[in-house]
Every structure is written in structure tokens, then in C-alpha cells.
């Protein structure tokens, strides 16, 4: 008879407590699927007295994460503390160096130290599983690492942050401002008191760096990701997008180009007909474009205790089965370095919103600057404020002008708009949103 897999869990917050509960309540199912039992034998957390709604009688309390990671009775160390540094880093390193398997949901740790940890797993024979680090219950890690092992990936992109998707959904559906939606997201618990990590795109960037490594065989490098958040998006951008057949999403995009792997996070207009455009609220989605197959889109809850715990337990079950996949899909020696691709080289369509001053020659000046950079316009929309009536001051208000370009280079767009601003024919800063075609 095969001995049960003995699990130690560091971190008993919402996810950790749910993992304990699932292992207990699904014990028979897990044993049947894994070929052996799975049992939590030790835990550690900041407070032993806290009520967590799970039965921990008979489970040993380790004095700290490092002690748990090196506990002689623990076969699989589960890290659910979070953070890119210690104690998570020290504990995970210690477990891997002791030949134990590790399961983690810690995207920050992997984005910063993933290669070093994968080397330790490779050297000492343990597994390093992290399905819950990206997309929670969406099985995108296994899809890229195992399911598509024989398929070349050309592009992987998706909605990787539920907070941003919730805010953009509310802004679109209710015409609310970014600030109003953010405040409501904080009230409902979808956004942190300090929401900058989410709304500025850094959470998505960490997840994208992990996906890019799996998709393209690059070393995980968050520093190689261009990052732009959603705070500049206004309701008028979402209305214009709807009129033009698009929807605005914060996307993480990693794509193979002739100049290398481009990794970028930014607000993006996607066609309403696309699968990714249908994903609303706090839901996440990832689309994979592979060679010789139609695009695959995986959709599901990207966060939450139950969803994240489900992915953690699935990773533990893989350890119990004896599965030892390369953490990033390839031996470490086969992963190659990647550098930040300058966005000036990015090629694609653009949405541009300008506040054009109502002067003679304004339209001609804008058209001239675009033509100088060989930018072709697919469509142009002019929106007169107040139905075209002059304001009470008698001075004509700036007129919103919306341009959709054909494919061009980012540096051309930037040069053209800089020249338009120098010509003083527009008010304020232009709004620019990239367009991602199907």
C-alpha cells in the first residue's frame, strides 16, 4: 500500500483554510484520482488562536515557515503566505533544497525568483507547481506547460486582473467614471485600500511574465514587460469604443515577433465579436494562439478563496501522482533571456481621441502631421459638445475628434501627436489606446 502524501501548509488565510477543508472533505476522491491518500500533517500561520472554520485537531503547528519547510514528516510544502521576499522565498528555497515538492499561489515570488526556484527543483528532484498563481481555477499553466507541449505558440493574451475588468465593465455599462467605479470596487472588496498594484497593471505584468516563459521558453522577467494602467480611461472612450464595434479591456499580451518576444500590459480595444470581449466583471480569460489550431480561450474566476484553493489542491494531487513536469515547460538550460521590447517598435492599429480647437486649419494641421508619419486613417468621428451649440462664454469649445488608424508603428503615432501638440491645435493630452485584432 502506498503511503499518503504528507502536506505542510504555510499560511492559513482564506485560501489556506479552504485548502485544508478541501483535502479533508474530498479525501476519498483525491485518493482515488491520485492513487494514494493526501493528508495535512503540519501547518503554520501568524496566529494560532484565530478561528478559521476548519478542524486542525491532530495537525502539528510548526513554529515558523522555515521549520515547516524542512519538517522531516512533510513531503509537499504548500506556500500561501504571499510576497516576493522572505519568509516565503527562504521557506520555498529550503523545501526545494531538501528535495521536497512545493505548491504555491505566489505570482510575485515566481515573477522575481522563478528561475532560481526552478533550478533548485530541477537539481533536487522535487516538483514546483503554481497553477493558482495565474488565473486561479483557470488551468492555463497546465495547458501551456503540458497540454500544448507539441504546439508552437504565437501569442498568448488575456484579462488577468479581475479588479480592472470589474471597473471597466461598470464604467461601460453604467457610464461611471474611473474614480466612482474604483471606490465601489473597494467597498465590495474587489480592490485593495491601495489599489495601485492592480489598476496600474503590475499584477497583470507579473502573471504575464510567467505565461510568456511557459509559452515561449523565456526566462521569467517582469522587467521585460511594458506596463500601462487603466486610470486614464474615461467614459467617453468606452462610448466611442462601443460605437466603433470595440470594447476596452486591460490586457496582458505576449507575442512572438520578428524582433523577439513582445510583452506588454495596457488598455486595449478588442472587437466586440471576440471571445475576450465577452468576459465581464471580475472574471478572467486567457486566449492562446497556437500554430495549426484555432485560438483557445480559457475563462473562469481568476481569484477568490474557493477558486484558488481548487487549483492548489489540483497541484497537490499532481505531486501525489508523482508528476514532475519542468516548472516552466523546459529544462532551465533551454530557457533564454529576454529583454524589454521598446514599445516604439510595436505595430498595430490605434484609437486616438483629441480635443481639437475650433480654429481654421485645425483639421488640416492634424491630417498633415499624421501624413508626415505615413499614418493612414481607417475612420474618423467628430463629436460636437452640447449638440454643436456654442457655450455661454461665446467661445467655441474644443471638439472631440476620434481617429482609428490602420496598422502603424507606435513611434510614428508618438511623433505625429507630439507635432500636433506643438502646433497648439488641440487642448490637453491626446488619449491613445492600442487595438488588438482577433
Binding residues for NADP(+): 10-17
- C-alpha span between 242 and 162 (Å, rounded): 21
Residues annotated within the binding site are 10-17, 107, 192
- C-alpha span between 402 and 23 (Å, rounded): 54
Inter-residue contact 404 to 377 (CB < 8 Å): yes
Look up 112 and say whether it is catalytic: no
Residues annotated within the binding site for NADPH are 107
Identify the active-site residue in 63, 207, 272, 424: 207
Query: Which of 13, 112, 15, 86 lies closest to 313, judged by CA?
Result: 15
Looking at the chain, how many residues does it have?
438
Q: How far is CA 392 from the centre of its chain?
A: 47
Residues annotated within the binding site for L-homoserine are 192
Query: Which of 254, 299, 239, 291 lies closest to 274, judged by CA?
Result: 299
* Other beta carbons less than 10 A from residue 294's beta carbon: 7
**Residue 344, C-beta contacts closer than 8 angstroms, at least 6 positions apart:** 409, 410, 411, 414
Residue 278, SS3 per DSSP: helix
- C-alpha span between 364 and 74 (Å, rounded): 72
Q: Which amino acids are annotated catalytic?
A: 207
Amino acid at each position: 500500500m502506498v503511503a499518503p502524501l504528507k502536506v505542510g501548509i504555510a499560511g492559513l488565510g482564506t485560501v489556506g483554510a479552504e485548502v485544508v477543508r478541501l483535502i479533508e472533505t474530498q479525501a476519498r476522491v483525491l485518493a482515488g484520482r491520485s492513487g494514494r491518500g493526501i493528508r495535512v500533517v503540519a501547518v503554520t500561520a501568524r496566529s494560532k488562536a484565530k478561528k478559521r472554520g476548519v478542524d486542525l485537531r491532530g495537525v502539528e503547528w510548526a513554529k515558523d515557515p522555515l521549520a515547516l519547510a524542512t519538517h522531516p514528516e512533510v513531503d509537499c510544502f504548500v506556500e500561501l503566505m504571499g510576497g516576493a521576499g522572505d519568509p516565503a522565498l527562504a521557506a520555498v528555497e529550503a523545501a526545494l533544497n531538501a528535495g521536497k515538492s512545493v505548491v504555491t499561489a505566489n505570482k510575485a515570488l515566481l515573477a522575481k525568483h522563478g528561475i532560481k526556484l526552478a533550478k533548485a527543483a530541477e537539481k533536487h528532484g522535487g516538483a514546483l507547481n503554481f497553477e493558482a498563481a495565474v488565473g486561479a481555477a483557470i488551468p492555463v499553466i497546465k495547458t501551456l506547460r503540458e497540454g500544448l507541449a507539441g504546439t508552437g505558440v504565437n501569442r498568448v493574451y488575456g484579462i488577468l486582473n479581475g479588479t480592472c475588468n470589474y471597473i471597466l465593465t461598470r464604467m461601460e455599462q453604467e457610464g461611471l467614471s474611473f474614480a466612482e467605479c474604483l471606490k465601489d470596487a473597494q467597498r465590495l472588496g474587489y480592490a485593495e485600500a491601495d489599489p495601485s498594484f492592480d489598476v496600474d497593471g503590475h499584477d497583470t505584468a507579473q502573471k504575464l511574465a510567467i505565461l510568456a516563459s511557459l509559452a515561449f521558453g523565456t526566462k521569467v522577467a517582469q522587467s521585460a514587460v511594458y506596463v500601462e494602467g487603466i486610470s486614464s480611461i474615461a467614459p467617453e472612450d468606452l462610448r466611442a469604443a462601443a460605437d466603433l464595434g470595440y470594447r476596452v479591456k486591460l490586457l496582458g499580451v505576449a507575442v512572438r515577433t520578428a524582433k523577439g518576444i513582445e510583452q506588454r500590459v495596457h488598455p486595449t480595444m478588442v472587437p466586440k465579436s471576440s471571445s475576450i470581449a465577452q468576459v465581464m466583471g471580475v472574471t478572467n480569460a486567457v486566449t492562446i494562439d497556437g500554430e495549426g489550431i484555432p485560438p483557445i480561450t480559457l475563462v473562469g474566476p481568476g481569484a477568490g478563496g474557493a477558486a484558488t484553493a481548487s487549483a492548489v489542491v489540483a497541484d497537490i494531487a499532481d505531486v501525489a501522482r508523482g508528476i514532475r513536469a519542468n516548472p516552466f515547460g523546459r529544462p532551465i538550460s533551454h530557457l533564454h533571456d529576454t529583454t524589454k521590447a521598446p514599445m516604439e517598435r510595436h505595430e498595430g492599429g490605434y484609437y486616438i481621441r483629441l480635443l481639437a480647437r475650433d480654429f481654421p486649419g485645425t483639421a488640416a494641421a492634424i491630417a498633415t502631421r499624421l501624413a508626415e508619419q505615413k499614418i493612414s486613417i481607417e475612420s474618423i468621428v467628430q463629436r460636437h459638445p452640447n449638440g454643436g451649440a456654442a457655450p455661454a462664454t461665446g467661445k467655441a469649445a474644443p471638439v472631440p475628434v476620434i481617429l482609428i488608424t490602420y496598422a502603424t508603428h507606435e513611434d510614428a503615432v508618438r511623433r505625429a501627436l507630439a507635432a500636433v501638440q506643438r502646433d497648439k491645435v488641440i487642448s490637453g493630452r491626446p488619449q491613445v489606446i492600442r487595438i488588438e485584432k482577433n
